[in-house]
Structure formats: C-alpha cells, structure tokens
Structure 1
Amino acid sequence: MRLLILGGTEFVGRAVTEEALARDWDVTVFHRGRHGAPPGAAELLGDRTAEGGLAALARGEWDVVVDTWSAAPTAVRDTARLLAGRAGHYAYVSTASVYAYPPPERLSEASPVVDGSPDAEARDYARDKRGGELAALDAFGDRALLLRAGLILGPYENIGRLPWWLLRIARGGPVLAPGPRDLALQYIDARDLAAWTLSAAERGLGGPYNLVSPSGHATMGGLLEACRRATGSDAELRWTDPGRIIAAGVEPWTQLPVWMPPGEMHDAFHRGDVAKAVSAGLRCRPVEDTVTDTWNWLCDLGGVAPQRPDRPPVGLDAETEAKLLRGE
C-alpha cells in the first residue's frame, strides 16, 4: 500500500506514519519541515497555506491519503481536488465537535452537525472541521472516510492533557482528583486511531465514523490510578465533589484536563455511540498501556511535554488546587 500522510510528524499524524511503516507500507510524508519525519518515510515539503505550496504534490499516485488538517477548510479543498484523480481513498481526521449543540441523548453518526463550507477561511474549530469533511466528500465522494474522533491521548500528545496529569501526579503530595471516581471516560489512543484508519481505508470504507472507545472503557479513577502507578508516585488522590469544583470557578476540560462533571456536557464528550466503528473492527488498548507508554515517552523528553502553538496550555495552577484541597 502507498500512503500519503499530510502532516505525519506530530501526534496523530506521527502515529499514522509509524503504524503504516510497521505494516511495511510505502509512506510519503508531506509537511512544512518543522519536525523530522519518522525514519523510513519519504518526505515532500510544502506549506498548504502558501501560494504554490502544493507544488510537491503535483505528481505521484497513492492508495490512501490521510489528512489531519484542522484550520481553514480551503486547504483540505485544494489538496483533495489536486489528489482526487491520483489517490484511491481520502481519510480525513475530523472531530466529534462537528455535532451541533445541544446534543441528542447519545451522539451517533446520524446526529445533526454544524454548518460548514469547503470554501471558508478559518473561523472556529467545529465549523472548520465540518468544512474539511465537506471538502473531502466533494472531491472523493464515497471514497472519503471521515473520522470523527473524540478525546485523543497517547505518546506524542502535543495538547497536554494526559501529560499534565502525569507530571502533576509525578510531583506527589495531595492531588485534587475531580469526582466521581467511577465517572465514565471515552477517548482513543492515537495509535488505535491510526491502526483502525489504515485498515478501514484499505477495506474501502467511507462516510463518517465516531472514532473513540466505548463509554466506560476507562473511568476517571482508573486513569488517575494508572498515572500514579506509571510514575511510581506517592501522590494522594483526594476525590472532590464536582459541585465544589465548579463553584470555585474551575473550568472542566481545560483546567482539569479530560474531566467533565456529570451532566449534558459529560454525556456529549464521554457517552457517544461508537457501535459503527466497533463493528468495523475498532479495538482499544487498556488505559494502563496508554498511560505507561505516554509516561515513558515524556521521560525520554526529559519531562517536558511539547505544546502546539495554536492551542492554549491546559492544567490547574498550584494556588487554586491548594485552596480547594484546604476546603476554601
């Protein structure tokens, strides 16, 4: 199989590249040259936002294209149109954020989505991703595979969610643990996303798929306990009532990464219907493996996690955590 990965050097793109190389695929990485491609991949350089930036893609044929773009849909539109006659399948890594709010009782691929346009410049994340979906569909039709991923964790994460928890717990001492302890989580390891994507594209699957673990694959308690074991920390997890956390003005998801208190938003983030992807072969590794491998990767980096420049840092500051732990 010949794979063209648009990006391919960071987080999800890198996971796709490494999975394809492990399958002995012929892999070409198209990127801006800011980070090195994994060994074994051919490289083409270009900037999709610049005039003439797709020149390196003017020639070549591929069985599968994987695109992780998350800004202006016009970049997906122009690339997909350029490749439509020379590529078999186009897998676009979208997001569950394309679903309209408020969500129905349980999100499925048939749930309403936000408006978007393949001809739009960058506006906001959800509409940009929906525009990217429409661009892929316009150029590839039923050869377009839309991966509506939820929360993505694992090695190479450059958003900072799991790295923040690992580094905080590694410091030890009392740790604010947002409850309830058995709160169901729904996420996907980037490597499981990569494996499913390549297999689905190879089989010729098309259309939208909610790509995330079944709800309850892990719990908040299981995630944080796995962090404590992986780091070897003596941290004391102090489980705290969600109402008290919210009353203190702490923002779920950003100040306390991964966590959403029970309610409508939690159900939207962590109770989506993934039956379609599971029936198409999605398999998710245990949370302990994701946490341990991410910790080992962080240690290799000297305990400093990379940060995407277009995303704000996440995590709770020490002063606010201390006040909550003291009951203030």
Structure 2
Amino acid sequence: MSRSLLILGGTAWLGAEIARQAVARGWDVTCLARGTSGVAPAGATLVPVDRSSPGAYDAVAGRRFDAVVEVSWQPRFVQEALVALAGATDHWTYVSSVSVYAAVRAENTEDSPRQPALDPRADATGADYAQAKVACEDLTLALRPQALIARPGLIVGPGDPSDRFGYWPARAALAGEGPLLVPKDAAPTQSLDVRDLAAWILDAGAAGVVGPVNAVGEQIPLADVVALAREVAGHTGEVREATTPWLAIHRVVGWSGPRALPLWVAAGPFPPMGTHASARYRDSGGAWRPQAETMRDVLAWERGLGVDRERATGLSRDAELELIGQLP
C-alpha cells in the first residue's frame, strides 16, 4: 500500500525534490502551493493556493495523509496550517534551519540556545528569517509536540538557486589554465546534497523520527572543496591565495553576494555555519553521498546554464582577474 504525502510547498527547490523522490517511490503526493516558484513534479498533484487567502486549506480539509512536510518561514502560515490540518496526519515535519542558533559555537548541537522568536503575528521579511524560523519551530511544537524539526545547513546540488556551491566548479571550468582567486584563511564548510536531504526527510517521516535534528553534512575545509572543484573541472591554472585583511580592503565579502567568494567565512576561534553537530542526522539514517558526485552533477548543471553567466553570488571573472592583478 502506497504512502500519502502532503507538502505545504513542493514547487521550489527542496520541496520539489521531496515531491519528486516521493513520486518515484510510488507515493501519492499532493503539493499545496501558489505554484509561482515552479511546477509540481510529474506525478504529483498541485493544489494551487495562496496561503494568505481565507480557506487556503479547504481543498485538503478532511483528508488523511501518512506525512505532512511544511517548509514555510512565515509564522502565520505555519500556525494556520497546523490548526486547519490538526487531524490530517500522525507525522508532521517542519523544515527549519541551523540559522535558528543564537551564537557561533565550536559545535552547535540540537540543544544549543536559539535566537529570540519573532512575534508570530508579524509578516516576516528576509531580515527576520532566523527569528521567524524560531517562531515557526515554537508554533509547530506547541501544536504538534511529536513533530520532526529538521534543521538543514547549507543545501547544495543541481538546481541550487543561491549560486554559492556551484561557483567553485563553474569558476574552475571557466578559468581553465588561468589563475583562480581563493581565500587563504577559511573556516570549515558543511554542505548537504539536496537529494540526500529530501531522501532523509521522507525516510524519517516513515520511521517516525521526531524532535530537532541538524540535517547537515560532514565538515570539510574550504581548501578541499576548491581542490575538488578544480579536479572535477580540469583546472590547471595557478591558485592565488588572498588573506582576509587583503580581501576586506578590496571589498570582497564572504559566503554570498555578487562580490563574494562563496562559502568563505573568515577563520576564527568559533567559525559559523561549518561546525554543526551531525550525529543525530547520521544516527537517524541520514546519508552523505561523496562530495565528488555532488560536484560533478553541479558542474554539469552549471555548464547547462553557462559557466560564464552573470551570477547571483560570486565575483565576475573580470573582477576576479582584476583582483588577482593587484595581489602582492
């Protein structure tokens, strides 16, 4: 007998991957979403709804599902769904984020302090993301104490709209025999392939996993990520390292943005993002595919888009070469 799944979302990147894999397993999949971020995967049923409208859940009212997955970061949407679908399932997953943690620590466990919660009545903006996720977690656990709270870190893989991880294989491919600018001092990275995350969310729901779980990858030095990107892309040019002070003087930022070296966070005693505890994810069946596999698949996807395209995140090649020319 096939399982039934309701995804509150399901047309954007992670939600669509969850839906796609569930369909491949033979599950009956319903995606309740506006549909403006994409289309529901083939085999899934899209219920087009603006969740801010009255009666947003009427189309699925009274139905039972084996699992529900919620991905929103708007507290009002999360609360309204929990109330409207109170009897719809025995297992509820809320996809949160490691951004909920209050402080940069040597290793954030699931019990580490979180940021203050946003007022659940507020309409969250991008600047409120972390505190909105905290509010969503609190609302979920208040109404579904046995929910799974998945806290992903950096999600990577084909289709990544952030342009972060893909910068390195794409830039290595574009550079070819030319030089590549990299940061000299960098904190560890921690990334998880979207396909592994989606598979774990489905498996964890079927197994009845509950409570908070850091859904994160293994800790890998950024230098190793760059080396793998160069190997996969066939880059044979020189690697030019720049120190954190030099990059700051030249207005190069870390992590994301149009003038960024993506994934780079300056090394320090308590580096962020790349040092979250992963034991609970692994113990609950979470997989880590080889990063070389992810890197190859991301490069293939980047080539399809054009490795010389304008990116949402990462230095342009012209800006990179200009900076390299100014290195001592």
Q: Distance in 2 between matches of 1:281 and 1:26?
A: 23
Distance in 2 (alpha carbons) for counterparts of 1:55 and 1:303 = 45
Aligned twin of 1:149: 152
- 1:261 corresponds in structure 2 to 266
Percent identity over the alignment?
34
CA shift for structure 1 position 285 = 0.9
Offset of residue 233 of structure 1: 4.3
Q: How many Å separate the matches in 2 of 1:321 and 1:94?
A: 34
Pick closer, same or farther for the CA change 1:264–1:11 going to 2, 3 Å: farther
Segments of structure 1 that go 5 or more residues without pairing to the other structure are 308-312
TM, length-normalised to structure 2: 0.88
Q: How does 1:194-205 map to 2 (within 5 A)?
A: 194-205=198-209
The match for 1:277 is: 281
Residue 69 in structure 1 maps to residue 68 in structure 2: no
**Letter paired with 2:27:** W
1:245 is aligned to 247
Which residue does the alignment assign to 1:160? 163
Deviations along 1:240-285, one digit per CA (max 9) or x if unpaired, are 33332234332111211111121156x2211111222222222211
Q: How does 1:30-69 map to 2 (within 5 A)?
A: 30-34=32-36, 35-69=38-72
Q: CA 1:302 to 1:27, structure 2 compared with 1: closer, same or farther past 3 Å?
A: farther
Higher mean C-alpha deviation, range 225-234 or range 172-181 = 225-234
Give the SS at the match of 1:186: strand
Amino acid at match of 2:34: R
Task: Answer yes or no: is 1:92 the counterpart of 2:94.
Answer: yes
Aligned equivalents of 2:100, 2:109: Cα separation in 1: 12
Cα gap change, 1:251 to 1:302, in 2 (>3 Å): closer
Distance 2:309 2:201 in 1: 26
Is contact 1:92-1:133 (8 Å) kept? Answer: yes
CA drift of 1:318 comes to 4.2
Q: 3-state SS of the aligned residue for 2:145?
A: helix
SS in 2 for 1:221: helix
Tell me if 1:322 matches 2:321.
yes
Corresponding letter in the other structure for 1:325: I
- SS at 1:176 equivalent: strand
SS in structure 2 opposite 1:88?
Answer: coil
Match of 1:111 in 2: 112
Q: 2:20 aligns with which of 2, 18, 21?
A: 18
Contact 1:2 1:27 in 2 (8 A): yes
How many Å apart are 1:52 and its aligned residue?
3.4
TM-score by length of 1: 0.88
Structure 1 counterpart of 2:215? 211
Distance 1:306 1:3 in 2: 37
> Aligned match of 2:224 in 222, 225, 236?
222
Amino acid at match of 2:233: T
**2:263 and 2:184 mapped to 1: Cα distance?**
12
Q: Distance in 2 between matches of 1:287 and 1:219?
A: 12
Q: Distance in 2 between matches of 1:60 and 1:301?
A: 41
User: Deviation digits for residues 126-179 of structure 1, max 9, x if unmatched?
Assistant: 01111111222122111x111111111111211111233333222212121123
Taking the aligned partners of 1:178 and 1:21, their CA distance within structure 2 comes to 42
Give the distance between the partners of 1:99 and 1:111, measured in 2 at CA. 7
SS at match of 2:200: helix
Matched AA of 1:23: R
SS in 2 for 1:162: coil
1:283 aligns to what SS in structure 2?
Answer: coil
Contact 1:193–1:211, Cα closer than 8 Å, also in 2: yes
Q: Distance in 2 between matches of 1:304 and 1:61?
A: 48
What is the CA-CA distance between 1:206 and the residue it aligns to? 1.2
In structure 2, the CA distance between the partners of 1:104 and 1:197, relative to structure 1 (3 Å rule), is same
Unmatched runs of 5 consecutive residues or more in structure 2: none
Aligned-CA RMSD value: 2.4
